Amino acid sequence: MKSYLSLDTESKLKKSQQLPFHIHFIGIGGIGMSALAMILAKNGYSISGSDQKTSSILKELAGNQLHIFQTQKKSNIDKIFKVHGKNTLVVRSSAIDEDNLELCKAREYNLKIKHRSEILAFLIEQKRSIIISGSHGKTTTSTFIATLCSYAKRNPTAIIGGIVPLYKKNYNFSDNELIIAEADESDGSLVRFYPNIGIITNIELEHVDHYLNLEDLITTMNQFAKNCKCLISNFDCKNIRNNIQVSKWFSTQKIKNIDFALIPKKSNGCEVFAEYYEKEKFIDFLKIPVPGIHNLSNAVAAIAACRIAGISFKEIKKGIDHLQLPARRFDFKGLWKKRLIVEDYAHHPSEIDASISIASTIIKTKNNFSKIAANRLVTIFQPHRYSRTKQFQKEFAKSLSKSDLVFITPIYSAGEDEIEGINNKTIGYELKRLKPNLEIYTPDNNQKLIQLIKEKTIEKDLLLIMGAGDINLISTNLLLEVMNNNSISSNLAA
């Protein structure tokens, strides 16, 4: 199979270009920013960053000798300028406000300022690239590709928007020529990337704080598509099928005229058994060790990318058994008082549908997901952004209605201003209209939420905790209680 992973003359010339020696990241603790910072540090650049939150990511950065400021003040830039002068680059993301104190001070010194996507574009230009975009499944597909390439001994540089189980972090550094990275469509910055191999997993209206409508999003995705030497896309998505010019198709529904097909035959809630085809020719029967048809689609996208990158199916198959979902993607965290706790990053109605589908299959099939078989589905949902909640509150209600018990927390703003009349209770009202007999709670804060979880859930419930904000703190709180109780019991026994 032809490989599209070749560096052209222009890219080879770009390899000689360098960034300023010292690079400062405003908001370095972000999942994308931290990965870029670590890759650049390992490439020999001097790195600093600031973040006002504490996290395990920041601890790792500090442990790798990156200087971390725990505030965002003008004096931080003063200190950096005193040491490095004009040989300093400041990196920001779209989440950084124009009046950020560090950003303002960098402008006063007339320092170079770049968006994080420009830094990622720089790294992509240095290597042969597989770049993944789409409304849903980017992180999972990127994780799968990185895993398959690693087991095929390609050892790629990887910049991922989540924690990859194989690496136990959100990046991998390598001197090899291959780079795997996500192309974030949330702010339209993905049009800066020119991949050897590009992937669009699906297209659905999202990030309504940036895009006016679906057509606006499609226009941006079309520009990304035109930038790709080879574009692999999902035939099962009509928005791609009807609007994007594609080099290679993958599907989980169709074999005819499809380049890479993975057709499901059986699923038990923890894995999917499927037939794999290339150009309509049956190749093998595969067990994909992750749940959900949406993840089967992510898996065939990953296989397709690896095949087009020149990796043999025999090599790919060695890695398939090792596929794991990234952190917070239907992530089983443990047992609390004989209740199963699962975390998921789902924050769009389609993502909620996919997660609830997996949970329902586990309950229906009585799958040995843990030592306790779940009987009832409890969803705990934290809406993410006021703009998204306003756009999709009816769709959120429809998705959550497939639960046996629902908790909806206050909205995680992600820096957005409040929108009058939009809150967790408005989703609750829509849900009650749709399913009057469903037990629904809309607590005002996490303390009340935890109290309600303790009062209203029962043994053998599957607690599906969903959202892209800080809702994962709920499972941490509950499981910490278990650890503390176990510790007390052990001390008493001693």
In a domain, 141, yes or no: yes
* Mean pLDDT on 336-341: 93
Residues 206 and 290 in one domain: yes
In a domain, 219, yes or no: yes
* Mean pLDDT on 346-369: 88
CATH number at residue 458: 3.90.190.20
User: What is the DSSP pairing of strand 260-267 with strand 272-278?
Assistant: antiparallel
In a domain, 491, yes or no: no
5 — pLDDT class (breaks 50, 70, 90): low
Domain extent for 51:
19-115
In a domain, 12, yes or no: no
In a domain, 13, yes or no: no
In a domain, 494, yes or no: no
User: pLDDT tens-digit profile of 256-304?
Assistant: 999 999 999 988 778 899 999 999 999 999 999 999 999 999 999 999 9
Residues 6+ apart with CB under 8 A from 376: 363, 404, 405, 458, 460, 461, 462
In a domain, 314, yes or no: yes
User: pLDDT tens-digit profile of 155-164?
Assistant: 999 999 999 9
6 — pLDDT class (breaks 50, 70, 90): low
68 — pLDDT class (breaks 50, 70, 90): very high
Name the domain count of the chain.
3
In a domain, 316, yes or no: yes
Residues 6+ apart with CB under 8 A from 366: 373
Angle at which helix 313-320 crosses helix 293-308, to 10 degrees, equals 150
Residues 481 and 341 in one domain: yes
User: pTM of the full predicted structure?
Assistant: 0.89
The answer on pLDDT for 3 being more than 70 is: no
CATH number at residue 99: 3.40.50.720
